[in-house]
């Protein structure tokens, strides 16, 4: 009987708000990232097409990436488990992008100023940071260790 209750809880829709989102960021940081990820704002948005997204600014003058925030849609119906998977997915992007070496940002800024947007994008937004490469390795490790199904799209 307890199993049935737990099973039913795992498929119930989960109502999200700012406080819950911030607390789950902290919980995920502790459980899956050893508290190594600096806390950033979590913004709850209305979107029928987006589960979550990592937003940030690239300052070409200072050659930095800053003002990170995670956006999570409250319009998409999901379970708590699915919400946690989305949060981890975006936290992985944050972790990987925040580790881009300064030299690589410098080089990307140079290409941008030269008008070579393809090389700029390859340096800052290539597969290593999107849904393959380093990001995918980290997602696979979490999936295997904790039985979570982090979506790779």
pLDDT tens for 83-122 read: 899 999 999 999 998 888 888 888 888 998 999 988 888 8
Question: For 112-134, what is the mean pLDDT?
Answer: 79
Q: Which CATH number goes with the domain that contains 99?
A: 3.30.2010
The answer as to whether 126 is a domain residue is: yes
Token pair for 120: 């700029």
42-45 sheet: strands from edge to edge: 42-45, 64-73, 52-59
Longest dimension (CA), the chain: 66
Q: Has residue 74 got a pLDDT over 70? A: yes
The answer as to whether 8 is a domain residue is: no
Which domain covers residue 73, as residue numbers? 14-146
Q: What is the C-alpha separation between 60 and 46, in angstroms, rounded?
A: 30
Yes or no: say if 91 and 148 are a contact pair by the CB < 8 Å rule: no
Q: What whole-number percentage of the chain has pLDDT above 70?
A: 86
The pLDDT value recorded for residue 12 is 59
pLDDT tier at 31 (50, 70, 90 boundaries)?
A: very high
The answer as to whether 1 is a domain residue is: no
The pLDDT value recorded for residue 13 is 64
pLDDT tier at 2 (50, 70, 90 boundaries)?
A: very low
The pLDDT value recorded for residue 15 is 77
CA–centroid distance for 62 within its chain: 24
Look at the chain and report how many structural domains it folds into. 1
Token pair for 125: 């937004």
H helix count then E strand count, the chain: 6, 3
The answer as to whether 3 is a domain residue is: no
């Amino acid at each position: 009987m307890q199993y049935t209750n737990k099973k039913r809880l795992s498929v119930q829709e989960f109502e999200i708000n700012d406080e819950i989102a911030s607390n789950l960021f902290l919980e995920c940081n502790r459980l899956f990232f050893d508290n190594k990820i600096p806390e950033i704002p979590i913004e709850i948005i209305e979107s029928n097409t987006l589960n979550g997204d990592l937003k940030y600014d690239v300052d070409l003058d200072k050659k930095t990436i800053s003002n990170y925030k995670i956006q999570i849609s409250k319009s998409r119906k999901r379970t708590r488990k699915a919400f946690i998977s989305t949060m981890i997915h975006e936290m992985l992007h944050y972790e990987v992008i925040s580790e881009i070496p300064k030299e690589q940002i410098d080089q990307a800024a140079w290409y941008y100023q030269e008008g070579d947007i393809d090389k700029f994008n390859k340096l800052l937004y290539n597969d290593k940071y999107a849904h393959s490469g380093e990001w995918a390795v980290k997602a696979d490790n979490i999936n295997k260790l904790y039985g979570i199904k982090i979506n790779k799209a």
